[in-house]
Amino acid sequence: MDGEVDLAAAASLIADPTRAAVLAELTDGRALPPSELAQLTGVSRSTISEHLSKLRRAGFVEVERGGRNRYFRLAGPGVADAVEALASIAPRRPVRSLRGATRAGALGAARTCYGHLAGALGVGLTDAMSAGGLIEREAEAFLLTDGGRERLRELGITNPARAGKACNDWSERRPHLAGRLGVDLTRRLFELGWLERTVVKRAVRATSPGRRGLGEAFGLVAGRAQPSGS
């Protein structure tokens, strides 16, 4: 028989700066090799292997194989939700370099989090959809209205999810659309060429057609549709 959850055990794993950085890098749903995670976190290959082993034993990450290579990803959306929740209450680090400022600006402007759109662009899109009557907030969920379902079908999402989660955005401190509905919409925006990846890991931006399309389809103000720091 199991007792109460051991919050301290989970917190102690995330409390290590390297492991926290690994989890943050994987929140967009990518699967990355140890060598790339070592480079991104600034530690050696042997050190990152130790950290990944601990995260895997705890059930925070899982491994998949591609030939002779191993790739690590988050074990599920629940882990990403936990990381985002912690990020929303965590203090911000001071920026001490141009590279750091560029990265922070790009991630704050627009990024993906386990398949859905986050950052200023994600919050702006959510606000525009709410204002346009396409989604309605109910507790911790966003419900798709009849008008919203028709609008998404016009964009090519033939069977959109009926609801999505309200995820508190760590950079904007306000909710954006997450869950299956958020993932369905974000996937389609990439397929339409309205969103594209940038050179900054995890960051995305609206393309020129995307700025027009987001304005026409959702009433998103052009200034909110183009993140800075690309």
- Distance separating alpha carbons of residues 137 and 144, to the nearest angstrom: 9
- Taking only the tens place, the pLDDT of each residue in 182-222 is 999 999 999 999 999 999 988 999 999 999 999 999 999 85
Confirm if 75 and 27 have CB atoms less than 8 A apart: no
The whole-angstrom distance between residue 151's C-alpha and the CA centroid of its chain comes to: 23
Residue with tokens 């859905």: 116
- Taking only the tens place, the pLDDT of each residue in 84-123 is 889 888 888 888 888 889 888 999 999 999 899 999 999 9
Over 90: is that where the pLDDT of 54 sits?
yes
- Give the pLDDT band (50/70/90) at residue 3: confident
> Mind listing the domains of the chain with CATH numbers?
7-90 (1.10.10.10), 100-225 (no CATH)
- Distance separating alpha carbons of residues 34 and 71, to the nearest angstrom: 7
Residue with tokens 């950085």: 21
Q: Tell me how long the chain is.
A: 230
What count of other Cβ atoms lies within 10 Å of the Cβ of residue 177?
28
Per-residue pLDDT at 67: 82
The whole-angstrom distance between residue 45's C-alpha and the CA centroid of its chain comes to: 26
